[in-house]
Amino acid sequence: MGTRPDAVTVIGAGTIGLGWITLFAAHGLSVTVNSRRPDARRVVEEGLRIFAPTLPGGGRDPEELLAGLRFEPDVARAVAGADVVQENAPEDPALKRELFGVVARSAPPGALLLSSTSTLVPDDFGAEVPDQGRLVVGHPFNPPHVVPLVEVVGGTRTTPEAIEETIAFYRSVGKVPIALRRPVPRFVANRLQTALLQESIHLVREGVVTMEELDSVVVNSIGLRWATVGPFQAFHLGGGEGGLRRWLGHLGRGLEASWRELGRPELTEETIELLSSEAERVYGTGNYPKLSTERDIRQNAILEALARIENGNNGQLNGVAPAGGHRGAAAEHG
């Protein structure tokens, strides 16, 4: 695939699928939507109304994007002319195996077969795919139309060329693809997020802080820090002139003890009810569009500010890019 793919089929119109549809359509790709839902067009239309106005780089007219979409409920017909297939079906290995069997038999021989799965690797659902060399995980971080990261994960039969083409494709639509050097369950970003969530649940359940207070702690400390530098660079800077070596040798000596102090909450019915009720009290119900828009506006503001610094518009960094990546960053892959 020497040039950027033009025809993309998105399978599934859930939250992640809607984000991909919005992003791909905004980048001028020919997008076919495959969904078994009889009201798929209405669902996509509603999703575009939420996501299109908050696309990075400036909002787009939802009606304009909708007009360029093609809807095809039959999987085989939907992928028949696709250069790229982005699948967003439920996390069910058997379902995905059957689905990708149909996709592989119906898509053109050179098409990239990509899955948004957050828990599976290509070997888990590629048994029905004759040419597993083009089967790749492209796991976005929600919301995919705003957050730059895509984790690219190959299987034992995925070719290096397919990984390279996948990285090039995601870069072409403004993403920052990171290829994992070896697959691990739930990949990297979700493992990090889950570790923080575990301790967050523990602290709220133990009454140390409320849910609202914990969110405020993160947003006003480590969240702000991590928007500009990753954990390793943060602690490297925390060591002063001696860097991470000094920090680990002195301040970091209590790390193992602090790890043992972390909570290990169980998701009992009582805990689930506590967290769910608290979330509904703090954030309300029935206001998903409003909260999503507010989130995207804030995230875009951060991305735009970092881009201005990187591009030298304010001269603060003398042309040095902020750590942590950006929409034009080179992908790291093995």
Contacts of 188 (CB under 8 A, 6+ apart): 151, 178, 180
pTM: 0.88
Strands (E), 35-157: 70-71, 84-87, 112-115, 135-140, 149-154
DSSP letters spanning 240-289? GGGHHHHHHHTGGGGHHHHHHHS------HHHHHHHHHHHHHHH-SS-HH
Which token pair is 7?
A: 């025809």
Which token pair is 26?
A: 């905004």
Reported as type and span, the H/E element at residue 179 is: strand 176-179
- What pLDDT was estimated at residue 257? 86
Domains of the chain, first to last:
7-179 (3.40.50.720), 189-285 (1.10.1040.10)
Q: Of 38, 112, 103, give the one whose Cα is nearest residue 77.
A: 103
- What pLDDT was estimated at residue 328? 36
Q: Of 5, 19, 1, 329, give the one whose Cα is nearest residue 175.
A: 329
* Cβ atoms within 10 Å of 116's Cβ, excluding its own: 24
pLDDT (tens, 9 = 90+) of the chain, 334 residues, equals 557 899 999 999 999 999 999 999 999 999 999 999 999 999 999 999 999 999 999 999 999 999 999 999 999 999 999 999 999 999 999 999 999 999 999 999 999 999 999 999 999 999 999 999 999 999 999 999 999 999 999 999 999 999 999 999 999 999 999 999 999 989 999 999 999 999 999 999 999 999 999 999 999 999 999 999 999 999 999 999 999 999 888 877 788 889 999 999 999 999 999 999 999 999 999 999 999 999 999 999 999 999 999 887 654 555 444 444 443 333 333 3
Q: Of 40, 277, 294, give the one whose Cα is nearest residue 143.
A: 294
- What pLDDT was estimated at residue 43? 97
